Amino acid sequence: MKMIYKALLLLIFFTISLFAEKFESFVKYKVGYGVFTLGEASAYLKISDNGSYKTEISARAKGLAAVFSRERTEKYMSEGRVFEGRLVPYHFEKQTSYGSKKRHIEFFWNYENKQIVMEKENCKGGNCEYSSEILPDDKYAEDDILTLYHNIMFDFNKTGAKEINASAIGSKKPVIIMLPEGERLKTAKKTFGDKEGIYIVAILNQEIFTSDKGELYVNVDSDNTASKAVLKKTMLFGDVWGEQIEKKISGQQNRTAW
């Protein structure tokens, strides 16, 4: 159940839209595994007049999935500034809660010294432990897991690249993001029924179920939000999937020329 829940969150990291100056969006997804619905997840992004941004992603299991996960909830939040079209974080946090356990992790960027401070708080039954450390140099990254996919899409458009390797705070291993070609493009078209939009594939480099690396297929609408995402090659009941069920967008968007 824990691995299914992590996959649930991975399905909506592509919902951060490309934007102009003032912009706000909210997107909600139904998430499932094979024929079973596991829960709902939502993504929120706001760009203010002063150039700051805040984005949040949260997920909550429902039904039997909630029972088996002990009412597990997860929330990710990133805030920072927009610089030359990119999201530049200065604060990222992750909150996890299930049963009597709560975990809160925060990261703070110091770009001048190229350092990231990580603060942790782990609680169980009301007893909490706190720790703080500066991440080693080999763990430094300029993206967190929420800004990563927006910035990669920006880089695709700017450089014309078809594949990018990237690391981010909040992801244990580097990921490969690609605009699929050949067999992967055929798989994407078949997966989404030749639906219009952009196809993106993420190689997560994590062993998820029977998949060696974890291949996430995403269909992106004309407004740059993910309409559907599918984690391929999972066991028994089929693919893990996320499907858009609600969307609210206001403000000016930059449509990418793909």
Which residue, 114, 112, 113, 110, is CA-closest to 91? 110
Dihedral, CA atoms, 12, 15, 16, 17, nearest 10 degrees? 170
Give the domain ranges of the chain.
2-249
Q: What is the pLDDT of residue 148?
A: 85
Element counts in the chain: helices (H) and strands (E) = 4, 14
Name 148's Cβ contacts closer than 8 Å, sequence gap at least 6: 13, 166, 168, 171, 175
Tokens standing for residue 20: 């102009």
- pLDDT averaged over consecutive 10-residue blocks of the chain (258 residues)? 51 52 80 80 86 87 68 87 89 90 95 95 92 94 86 78 85 83 92 88 63 74 82 65 87 47
Q: How much is the pTM?
A: 0.82
Q: How far apart are CA 218 and CA 231, in angstroms?
A: 9
Q: What is the pLDDT of residue 54?
A: 92
Tell me phi and psi for residue 32, to 5 degrees. -150, 175
Q: How far apart are CA 92 and CA 76, in angstroms?
A: 8
